[in-house]
Amino acid sequence: MKSFIFGQDTEERLRDQLEDAIDRHEDDPAPDAKGDLSPLERQMVRNLLHFGERDAGDVGVPRADIVAVEEKTSFDNLVQIFAEAGHSRLPVYREKLDTIVGMIHVKDVFRILATGAPHPADLSGLIREPLYVPMSRGTLDVLADMRQRRVHLAIVLDEYSGTEGLITIEDLIEEIVGEIEDEHDEAPEALLIPLDGGAWDADARVELEDVGTAVDPRLAETEDDVDTLGGLAAVLAGRVPQVGECVDHPSGWKLEVTDSDERRVNRLRLHPPVEPEPAEAD
């Protein structure tokens, strides 16, 4: 198509050439020669080739999953939140999450605890300035910003300067090397769990593509701009359905909400279509 539009002189991009070379070796079980790229290295190179195509709104932690503290939180409560969250940095907001005024690093908290220094009356002395980036900023630029500013956490802002999410430098690295887990990370929960009678217990974050593969392809067919099962339930209901509500899918499946709040659906139970009973012969 490019040749037809621009002529035969159009040169293929180096990115395309590299990806074509990787594609030709996609099914190779092991390197052809010593020092050649392993399957894992090929996947990392592929991820790197597409790293610059994503923006800040595509990666990191979405707004609904942000663990943050209000700036009037006491020091003792801050310590408790750090212990429960297991994060090294926590955003600090003023009254609402859309007004993030900074972040606190756990090592500043630990320094006070380790030295036996008096607990501060407020958190103002612990707050550091994070990096603020628009959701349209490219991931490569965000990584460069973090390196230049020597900051490992960025607050992602939407078009109204509200909080869209946050990105850590670990999130960016994981886009290239894959998921990084340490000894403090909890084992991931299954997003889809089969139940008796053909029903399924499902995390609302599960991708529709995965639901279509594991449960029923019809559940992945939608013309709406949604990617998750929770988003599909909200679209079908026309709002965020509450606990106990059942939403009918055109395929006959029923989506029962088993956990939700005022902003989002957290968990659902999928009930299979009821097959009509065969008519009795006269």
pLDDT in tens, 21-55: 877 777 666 555 555 777 778 888 888 888 888 89
Check: pTM over 0.75? Answer yes or no. no
pLDDT band, very low/low/confident/very high, at 277 (cuts 50, 70, 90): low
Return the pLDDT at 8. 47
Return the pLDDT at 23. 79
Query: Does 174 or 39 have the greater pLDDT score?
Result: 174
Residue 129: exposure state from Cβ atoms within 10 A (0-12, 13-18, ≥19): exposed
Return the pLDDT at 271. 95
Average pLDDT over residues 204-209: 89
Domain architecture of the chain: domains with CATH? 57-177 (3.10.580.10), 192-271 (3.30.465.10)
**Through-space distance between the first and last CA atoms of the chain, rounded to whole angstroms:** 63
Return the pLDDT at 257. 94
The residue assigned the tokens 């690295």 is: 173
Residue 154: exposure state from Cβ atoms within 10 A (0-12, 13-18, ≥19): buried
- Measure the CA dihedral 170/171/175/178, to 10°: 60
Return the pLDDT at 205. 86
Query: Does 76 or 58 have the greater pLDDT score?
Result: 76
Return the pLDDT at 279. 57
The 10s digit of each residue's pLDDT in 128-172 is 999 999 999 999 999 999 999 999 999 999 888 899 899 999 899
pLDDT band, very low/low/confident/very high, at 12 (cuts 50, 70, 90): low
Lowest mean pLDDT among 63-67, 168-172, 173-177, 276-280: 276-280
Q: List the Cα angle 101/142/70 in 5-degree steps.
A: 20
How many residues appear in the chain? 282
Return the pLDDT at 6. 46
